[in-house]
Amino acid sequence: MAAQIWYEDDGDLSVLDGKKVAIIGYGSQGHAHALNLRDSGVDVVVGLRPNSKSVEFAKEQGLEVKSVPEAAAEADVIMILAPDQYQKGIWENDIEPNIKEGAALAFAHGFNIHYGYIKPSEDHPVFMVAPKGPGHIVRREYAAGRGVPVVTAVEQDPRGDGWDLALAYAKAIGALRAGAIKTTFKEETETDLFGEQNVLLGGVNKLVEMGFEVLTDAGYQPEIAYFEVCHELKMIVDLMNEGGLNKDRWSCSDTAQYGDYVNTVIDEHARERMQYHLQRIQDGSFAQEFMDDQAAGAPKFKQLQEEYSNVRIEEVGPKLRAMFSWNNEAAKDADEANSFTGKIARAQVQDAE
């Protein structure tokens, strides 16, 4: 069955007339949502800890900034955009004791609602508007008169206006220019975690790392191995993005295509491992493991970060990337264009320390 998709005419901004929207957090998504909402005529307040490094950045953009409890107390819609592991504490300590009766609670990822770390009372509408792109792209596309598509869901709808709120919010951040796909908190959470763990990060990163090690262990030069298993990946992903797997295959040589078809590295054993990881996502054991580690100060997470930041491919990667003049220019342009986003990212790190 085809997914239901809403577009610009399906959202009504007047639904947000007379309503105050609190954006909790001012990171990648937070700054984009707050600025896009404001520019769409919505009354916005940003909720931050008073000592947050992000306060000055939000104020520089002309936004109203208050503490999280103050912002929550006056808001009719509260969008929580803090990292997953912090949302439960923010909800219990700052939002739940102060939230207005009947105020709507919104998310850009279903993790905390789906796994029950946040349990709003039944009088609060709960919806999700999740952009399928990073915040700086959400902001850039809005400013250009375009939009980034979103997936949207309603978990609790006590008054029957949950979808009206969700689509109005999606329109206000520019998403309905591209489209909003109907989903559920369960579907969004489980597919998002699965994709990250098994394909986008846990799959691609480990394939690149392992392929590099197999070639260099066999005596091939690390520079050549890097080009073959890492550098050319962007070209393949760009082709997929433009025209799917078929364009990716048709754009490469017959030799490459044949090798793709008879590849026995990604076989049924990989499918079995994917099914195992999906089961851990579905039954909540992955979420529990992650949240328990975070609650203990993230010792395992920090150990893994250190371990995987120093894999062998990273010894040759920086030297070769410095040779790509087009990458250097693109990085320079991006740094200039997104200097504000960079400040926000650094502030987030400092806030979390």
Q: Give CA separation, 63 vs 60, 88, 90, 326, in Å.
A: 7, 25, 21, 36
Known binding-site positions for substrate: 253
CA–chain centroid gap for 56, Å, is 24
Q: Which amino acid is at 45?
A: V
Residue 314 CB neighbours (<10 A): 12
Residues annotated in the binding site for Mg(2+), as ranges?
A: 192, 196, 228, 232
Residue ranges of the binding site for NADP(+):
26-29, 49, 52, 54, 135
Per-residue burial over 79-98, b = 16 or more CB atoms within 10 Å of its CB, e = otherwise:
bbbbebbbbbebbeebbbeb
Report the catalytic residues.
109
Which amino acids are annotated as binding site, given as ranges?
Answer: 26-29, 49, 52, 54, 135, 192, 196, 228, 232, 253
Residue 26 three-state SS: coil
Strands 43-47, 64-66: pairing is parallel
Q: Which residues lie below 8 Å from residue 193, measured CB to CB, with a gap of 6+?
A: 111, 281, 286
Could you tell me which of 334, 14, 5 has the C-alpha nearest to residue 169? 14
Residue 51's Cβ-count burial label (10 Å; 0-12, 13-18, 19+) is: exposed
